[in-house]
């Protein structure tokens, strides 16, 4: 029994190593990223980013290399830099199929061209910046919807201006205006108690709000292709889809 246990342990370790080791074909995309962060080379890192680099709303996206270098410390604190720089290419990175290659279950994503396409981390600096933007945001809204803990989405489709806010403890609120109205106007409709559903480790997710037989679903694209919109709105009555509109701009 003693030898059997040892054999099973060795097989288990071998199986685990071969199962989770990053495929060799992805190494050429990951190694330059690890090397750049180990050297703390901001210029090289900036060249490895796919722009615009999305940030968590209400933080504005980063549009180009110059802006990235200027805002580097907002996006990467010492802790995250160290995690990337010291990451093990075989055990910390994983191929995510069409979405790319990810570090530590989605902290960072790299596409098939070796470009960084997603960073799911918010530094203390970004959190302070976000709080300041949130207070400014509240002042621009109608009094009926300027009470919330955190803004989540601010979207425009062809016909609607849509907001989703977290009222606290993930109690999501949906507010919608006609496209020609201002945020300071009273919304045309407000719904609360929305649900969020995540779709894998890439960050894509959707919010669902109910109003009797009607469902309002907002799909959020974090990891997509070059032609993907930021998201889209669907409206259903029972199982019949009444409306589908892509997001054409985000705030």
Q: What is the pLDDT of residue 122?
A: 93
Which of 224, 232, 229, 251 is CA-nearest to residue 109? 224
Residue appearing with tokens 């075989």: 90
**Assigned token pair, 32:** 């330059």
Q: Provide long-range contacts, Cβ within 8 A and 24+ apart, for 178-184.
A: 183/140, 183/141, 183/142, 184/140, 184/141, 184/142
User: Where are the chain's structural domains?
Assistant: 2-124, 141-250
Q: What is the DSSP string of 177-221?
A: EETTS-TTSPPSEEEEEEEEEE-STT--EEEEEEETTEEEEEEE-
pLDDT of 219 = 96
Pair 37, 81: CB distance under 8 Å: yes
Which pLDDT value is given to residue 201? 64
pTM for this predicted structure? 0.69
Which pLDDT score, from 0 to 100, does residue 20 have? 54
Written as tens digits, the pLDDT of the chain (251 aa) is 444 344 334 434 333 333 457 888 889 999 999 999 999 999 999 999 999 998 988 899 999 999 999 999 999 999 999 999 999 999 999 986 767 899 998 899 999 889 999 999 999 999 999 999 999 999 999 999 999 999 999 999 999 999 999 999 989 999 999 999 999 999 999 999 999 999 876 678 999 999 999 999 999 987 777 778 989 999 999 999 999 999 999 87
* DSSP secondary structure, 97-161, as one string: GGG-EEETTTTEEE-TTS-EEEE----HHHHHHHHHHHHHHHHTS-TTS---SEEEEEEE-SSEE
Q: pLDDT at position 69, please?
A: 97
Q: Give me the pLDDT at residue 100, please.
A: 86
What pLDDT was estimated at residue 10? Answer: 40
């Amino acid at each position: 029994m003693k030898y059997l246990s040892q054999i099973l342990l060795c097989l288990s370790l071998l199986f685990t190593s071969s199962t989770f080791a990053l495929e060799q074909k992805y190494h050429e995309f990951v190694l330059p990223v690890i090397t750049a962060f180990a050297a703390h080379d901001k210029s090289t890192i900036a060249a490895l980013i796919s722009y615009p680099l999305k940030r968590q709303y209400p933080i504005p996206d980063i549009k180009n290399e110059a802006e990235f270098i200027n805002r580097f410390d907002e996006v990467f604190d010492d802790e995250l830099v160290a995690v990337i720089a010291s990451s093990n290419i075989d055990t910390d990175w994983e191929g995510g199929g069409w979405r790319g290659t990810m570090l530590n279950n989605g902290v960072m994503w790299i596409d098939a061209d070796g470009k960084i396409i997603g960073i799911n981390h918010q530094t203390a600096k970004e959190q302070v910046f976000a709080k300041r933007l949130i207070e400014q945001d509240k002042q621009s809204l109608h009094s009926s919807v300027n009470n919330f803990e955190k803004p989540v989405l601010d979207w425009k489709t062809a016909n609607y201006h849509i907001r989703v806010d977290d009222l606290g403890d993930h109690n999501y609120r949906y507010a919608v205006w006609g496209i020609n109205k201002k945020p300071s106007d009273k919304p045309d409709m407000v719904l609360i108690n929305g649900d969020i559903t995540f779709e894998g480790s890439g960050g894509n997710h959707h919010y669902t709000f109910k109003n009797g037989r009607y469902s309002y679903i907002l799909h959020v694209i974090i990891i997509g292709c070059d032609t993907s919109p930021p998201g889209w709105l669907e409206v259903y009555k029972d199982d019949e889809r009444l409306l589908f509109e892509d997001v054409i701009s985000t705030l």
